[in-house]
Structure 1
Amino acid sequence: MNDADDDRNDGRRRYLMYGSERYALAILRPLQAAIRARGGETAWFFDGPGAADLADDEPLLDVEGVRRWNPRAVITPGNHLPHFFPGVKVEVFHGFDAGKPRHIHVRGFFDLYCTTGPRDTAKFQALADELGHFSVAETGWPKLDPFAAQFGAVEPVREPPVILYHSTFSPSWSAAETLHDEVRRLSRDGRWKWIVTFHPKMNPGTVAKFRALENAHLRVADDDNILDLFGRVDMMCSDTSSALNEFLLTGKPVVTFRNRRPGPQLIDIDDPAQFEPAIACALSRPPELMREIRGYADAIHPYRDGRSSERVVDAVEAFIAAGGSNRCKKPINFWRKLRLRRRIGYWGPGG
């Protein structure tokens, strides 16, 4: 990208927001706001759900439209994007590392990874040093910018306490079916209130089973952005979902069932009979647990200023100013590129 490109774009810097799921909206809209605040332009491309939820001032482009629009950078929370789109290819992640190997699986599509905190930065920088075909900048996560106020002092436990139950969708990682009966039992006596949410890809049958539990003490929430719920609850119950790491940034406890990467920041159990006492322990907020939570939060996302989106834009501009390239070429990736063309239904020109 050079000055001539900006001249062709009427002097305004253009950035494409690329999504494959509806959750891309919550992640990329704060970034869009930061770009627009600097006088830049944004447009969107979706290869999956989400386009129907765009606002009137969020233009949606097709492939040819993207190529004509000529964005300065293409930014996505997913792990792929078309190699033939113009602009620097930037990954901002769709969640924190929850122990799922795909989180650090480098697929060769990106020029720049914008990491959330020291823990991920160290992992990706080691890979960048080894492979040479991408760069790394630690920026924080744009999705959290509107919620910066939630990551301060921890409020006292409500009366009655409110529990957020959230499960990932993968059958090998989800505890929803295993803990269903315990949630049903514990949500009947009114001692605790429950808000239940699921990953968008959760088995509809499982979701239906939990909807059948709804009563005065339990509701299933349909909020698109789970962060909207964090300020309304006192703790979370989960399994191996990246959302639990987002919740830990509030400083409040999480009970997990057979988490793939348990640690002292979690109360992890492996038997449904342990569920009730683990919740009681979490609501008592043991000082040692609370210290571990704070330390873990600082390692995965130390930023509390609500300016991660601005840092992403700064990182993209710094990368472009330095030449917009890395010391090695990206891998050929023939089969992945072919699958992506099939996914978006485009067989036209592009390297």
Structure 2
Amino acid sequence: MKTILFCQNNYAFGILNPIKKVLVHKDYQFIWFVADKIRNDFPYSEDAYTSEIKDLEAFKADAIFVPGNEIPHYLRGLKVQIFHGLAGEKKGHFRIRHYFDLYLTQGPYFTDRFKELSQIHKDFDVIETGWPKLDIYGKDKNKYNDDKLLLLREYEAEKILLYAPTFSPKLTSAPFLLDELKQLADNKDYLILLKFHPLMAQEWIDAYKSLAKEVSNILFQEEKNIIKFLLISDLLISDTSSVIYEFILLDKPVITFNNISETINWENTDDYSQLEHLVKSNLQEDVFAEKRRLIKQQFHPYEDGLSAQRMVEATETYIKKHGVPKKRKLSFLRRLKMNSKFGKASK
């Protein structure tokens, strides 16, 4: 099975790499598509990769795994949506854009909704597999324990707190927590890590980098893959970001500000001045532990670390049954958008 791993943003690398490992194990040929804007961030330069759509046309794939919203309709291959997050409340998460033949979902909450939509649109199928980015939770959850111990010793801290806000201008807490985080850092028992989405506005990246330079126990993290920081942190501070669910699945407490989810099963407030109090109370009492278990059952019940394998096998089986699409049928306006974004198909 010839496969394209399609990356338009750098968060896709950590989602697709577990799939790549399965493809290598199966001795399948694959190529990464790495958009020009993220080519300098690409960590797997020893693999075959390209930033040219014409190379993907020439590759003639059987399957294309996409943790994003778009894929050129004219590329050969089963177009497989594998998602870039777990935040179903985000605008557009359940929007059907008609670029994909197959949706591989993370858990029942997503599967049920997309199956309902598949009955309406009748131009894609849905299979639940789990999410490959979280395979490390099942296989190597303690991978960074030594790194955590070294950090705690170096900064003489007791707990690691992670601040990971969304980039969305309407939803981000970044403009409101600069002073609150600085005040929180007065407690030297806390080591505070800052990890921002790659699409965060530059003014807030610059502001928080300045804060980290000013305060010794606040560290701004440049590494692209957030998984390490999720694993080593004891508590997450955020807003309306899909990273909330990735952290909750580790069974650790979360504090959010103005989260827009209809069902909130963690600490949420609209009062930024409560940060210090809420951090202390959630570390000590953790009253949301039972509700976290309910989220796990609905959003990602898989603990075996085999979601990437299920994705590849589900794709193999689907192709054996339905064949490999030469292209995707789209409306004129959708085709026009893809042509504008990626260029027209080669003749």
TM-score computed with the length of structure 2 as normaliser: 0.89
Contact 1:71 1:87 in 2 (8 A): yes
Q: Deviations over 1:311-339 (max 9, x none)?
A: 0011111211221489xx97633222212
* Among candidates 27, 34, 37, match of residue 22 of structure 2: 34
Aligned to 2:186: 188
Deviation at 1:273, TM superposition (A): 2.0
Distance 1:48 1:127, change over 3 A: farther
**CA distance, structure 2, for counterparts of residue 165 and residue 204 of structure 1:** 17
Deviation at 1:229, TM superposition (A): 0.9
Distance 1:204 1:246, change over 3 A: same
Aligned to 1:58: 48
Aligned to 1:202: 200
**CA distance, structure 2, for counterparts of residue 283 and residue 297 of structure 1:** 20
Distance 1:148 1:48, change over 3 A: farther
SS of match in other structure, 2:136: helix
Aligned to 1:289: 288
Gaps of 5+ in 2: none
Aligned to 1:99: 89
SS of match in other structure, 1:133: coil
Aligned to 2:11: 23
* Among candidates 103, 113, 117, match of residue 127 of structure 1: 117
TM-score computed with the length of structure 1 as normaliser: 0.88
**CA distance, structure 2, for counterparts of residue 311 and residue 141 of structure 1:** 9
The RMSD of aligned alpha carbons is 2.2
**Aligned 1:203-242 pairs, distance under 5 A:** 203-214=201-212, 215-242=215-242
Q: Deviations over 1:185-230 (max 9, x none)?
A: 1113313210011110111111111111122211111121111112
Distance 1:136 1:325, change over 3 A: farther
Q: How many residues align?
A: 331
Gaps of 5+ in 1: 1-12
Contact 2:196 2:205 in 1 (8 A): yes
**CA distance, structure 2, for counterparts of residue 69 and residue 63 of structure 1:** 10
SS of match in other structure, 1:97: coil
Counterpart residue identity of residue 238, structure 1 = S
* Among candidates 150, 157, 160, match of residue 158 of structure 2: 160
**CA distance, structure 1, for counterparts of residue 12 and residue 231 of structure 2:** 21
Counterpart residue identity of residue 70, structure 2 = H
- Do residues 252 (structure 1) and 240 (structure 2) align? no
Contact 2:6 2:66 in 1 (8 A): yes
**CA distance, structure 2, for counterparts of residue 319 and residue 347 of structure 1:** 26
Q: Deviations over 1:117-139 (max 9, x none)?
A: 11100110110122110000101
Aligned to 2:322: 323
Contact 2:73 2:330 in 1 (8 A): no
Identity %: 30
SS of match in other structure, 1:102: coil
Counterpart residue identity of residue 130, structure 2 = G
**Aligned 1:44-123 pairs, distance under 5 A:** 44-52=32-40, 53=42, 54-60=44-50, 62-123=52-113
Counterpart residue identity of residue 204, structure 1 = Q
Q: Deviations over 1:143-188 (max 9, x none)?
A: 1123424669xx9x98521110011111100001112110111113
**CA distance, structure 1, for counterparts of residue 72 and residue 257 of structure 2:** 37
Counterpart residue identity of residue 24, structure 1 = A
